[in-house]
Structures are given as structure tokens and as C-alpha cells.
Amino acid sequence: MRAANAATALGIGTGGAALVGASALLGQFGLAIGAAAAAHLLIQMISNQPLPTGRSFTLPVALIAGLTGCMAVLGAQLPWYALPVLAGIPLVAWLLPLFKQAVWLQSLALALATFAFATGTIYLAWNVAGDVPF
């Protein structure tokens, strides 16, 4: 459950930041990764059972999201300091204490914490782009 939440937030955060940072192709690629991880998360929430995710799930998602973020920094206008915020997503998902509750409640708690970092990354990219009205 932690891996699925981290992968969803990492994909959506990377894709949204790359999309705002003037790279539509990298943004679509990152959002596609986030959508695929969100489908896995939705299956967990509907079945109310955590699905096993091993290295075959986490390693490709982390590598693809990391490389997409690096390409957005080098090729688009994404600021470099958005990447450490993205790197905090798996750490928060790993370190957040969870209580014995239903799977969807645990997933909601993880999603609130991880999507805060994803939203922060998108805000940083949007702020550099100059489109922020406030």
C-alpha cells in the first residue's frame, strides 16, 4: 500500500511539474505513470486487501519517474530544487506510521501526506513559470 501511494504521488507530481515546466511530452509520460500506479491503488482500495508489490513494481516506477524529472530539469524549465521535494515522497510514505484500520483509510492517510509533496513540486514549477496569480 505504501509503494502504490508513493508511486501514484511520484508519477503525478513528476508529470504535473514537467507539464507546467513547458514539456508536454514529459508531463504526459509522468502522468501516465501516476495513472497506472493509481489503478493499482484503486484495486487495493476496492478489494480492501493490500496487494503485494515488490521490486518489479517499485524499481521501474522510481527509475522512470526519476529519469523523467531529470529530463524535465535538463530539457524543460523545471527548477532543480523541485527534485528534492519529489525525493521526499517515498520517504514520507515509508516513515508515516499507520494504525490498524481499513485499507482505504490507511491509503487515504498516506495519500494526504504524499500528495502534499507532489502539490509542492507542482507549485514550485508553476511559480518559476510565472503563471501564479498570487
Q: What is the pLDDT of residues 11-33, one digit of tens each?
A: 999 999 888 877 788 889 889 99
Total domain count, the chain = 1
Domain that holds residue 38: 2-129
134 belongs to a structural domain: no
Return the DSSP state at 50: P
pTM of the model: 0.85
Please give the Cα distance from 93 to 72 (Å, whole number): 24
Of the candidates 15, 10, 21, 26, which has an alpha carbon nearest to the alpha carbon of residue 125? 21
75 belongs to a structural domain: yes
Rounded to the nearest 5 degrees, what angle is found at the Cα of 39, between the Cα atoms of 85 and 66?
A: 30
Q: Are 87 and 13 in contact (CB under 8 A)?
A: no
41 belongs to a structural domain: yes
Of the candidates 55, 50, 21, 15, which has an alpha carbon nearest to the alpha carbon of residue 36? 15
113 belongs to a structural domain: yes
Segment 108-120, tens digit of pLDDT: 888 899 999 999 9
62 belongs to a structural domain: yes
